[in-house]
Amino acid sequence: NAGVTQTPKFQVLKTGQSMTLQCAQDMNHEYMSWYRQDPGMGLRLIHYSVGAGITDQGEVPNGYNVSRSTTEDFPLRLLSAAPSQTSVYFCASSYARGYEQYFGPGTRLTVT
Amino acid sequence: EDQVTQSPEALRLQEGESSSLNCSYTVSGLRGLFWYRQDPGKGPEFLFTLYSAGEEKEKERLKATLTKKESFLHITAPKPEDSATYLCAVPVPSNTGKLIFGQGTTLQVKP
């Protein structure tokens, strides 16, 4: 099993550009989530999904969209990048809500 | 307010010097507590799940324990490769699957 995979590993965007961070898992997990990690702020939840076709907002959803059309994939879309979105983004998955979450390797995003 | 607090923020140990990291929580109806290890530039790596007071889990030099108000991660005779940031997390009571993470303890083990 590859576990949770994320692409790209690094990305530089200009303010106003849009892009999609990809996340996939091959463990048939129901639950998937996106976090951002910033120095001094810890891990903050952006969006999550309890199953295909179901998504909901986390703590810091503004400026991000998600969809979950399949069990395996959970892409995160930045609509119009802003410097405040410079961060490291982690995707995670778990068997179901309440179980331990397994994290991907992260995407380091810089918005100039 | 549901909260998870880890202490200390940073810990420096000599190789072989055992110590403990603390994770205290204020969450009603605990549904589990998770420990993770995070190396620089990488995603958190799952270590342990603890569900009830008195439960213990071990892996190599690490042992995690749980009481009604806190969890400890005991590191016995650490090696430099144990250097990392250790995070603990608990599910929010609403059963949405969301996790509340502590800020982490950064451990440095010197040879």
Residue B58 has pLDDT above 80, yes or no: yes
Q: Mind listing the pLDDT tens digit for each residue in B65-103?
A: 999 899 999 999 999 999 999 999 999 877 788 899 999
pLDDT (0 to 100) of residue A98? 86
| Mean pLDDT on A54-60 | 94
Of the candidates A7, A2, A3, A4, the residue with the CA atom closest to the CA atom of residue A22: A7
What is the rounded average pLDDT for all residues in chain B? 94
Average pLDDT over residues A33-46: 93
Measured between beta carbons, the chain A residues lying within 8 angstroms of B36 are 103
pLDDT at position A42? 87
CA quadruple B88, B91, B97, B103: dihedral sign: negative
One-letter amino acid for residue A72 of the chain: E
Q: In the predicted model, what is the mean pLDDT of residues B55-69?
A: 96
User: Touching check for A100 and chain B: CB below 8 Å?
Assistant: yes
Q: Is B49 on the interface with A (CB under 8 A)?
A: yes
Before B78, cis peptide (omega within 30)?
no
- Residues of chain A in contact with residue B102, where contact means CB-CB under 8 angstroms, are 42
Task: Please check whether residue A45 touches B, CB under 8 A.
Answer: yes
Min CA distance, B42 vs chain A (Å)? 5
Instruction: Round to whole Å and give the CA distance between B38 and B51.
Output: 22
Q: Which of B34, B95, B101 sits opposite A100 (nearest CB)?
A: B34
CB contact A105 to B (< 8 Å): yes
- Specify the range with the lowest mean pLDDT, choosing from A1-5, A81-85, B6-10: A1-5
Instruction: Say if residue A48's pLDDT is above 90.
Output: yes
Q: Is the dihedral of CA B67, B70, B75, B76 positive or negative?
A: negative
- How high is the mean pLDDT of chain A? 96
Mean per-residue pLDDT, B4-32: 94
The proportion of chain A whose per-residue pLDDT surpasses 90, expressed as a percent, equals 90
Q: Which residue reads 């986390």 in tokens? A: A58
Q: Give the whole-angstrom CA distance, residue A17 versus residue B1.
A: 37
Q: B40: which residues sit within 8 A by CB, 6+ positions away?
A: none
Q: For residue B32, list chain A residues with Cβ-Cβ distance below 8 A.
A: 98-100
Distance CA A94, CA A82 (A): 30
**Residue A31 contacts B, CB cutoff 8 Å:** yes
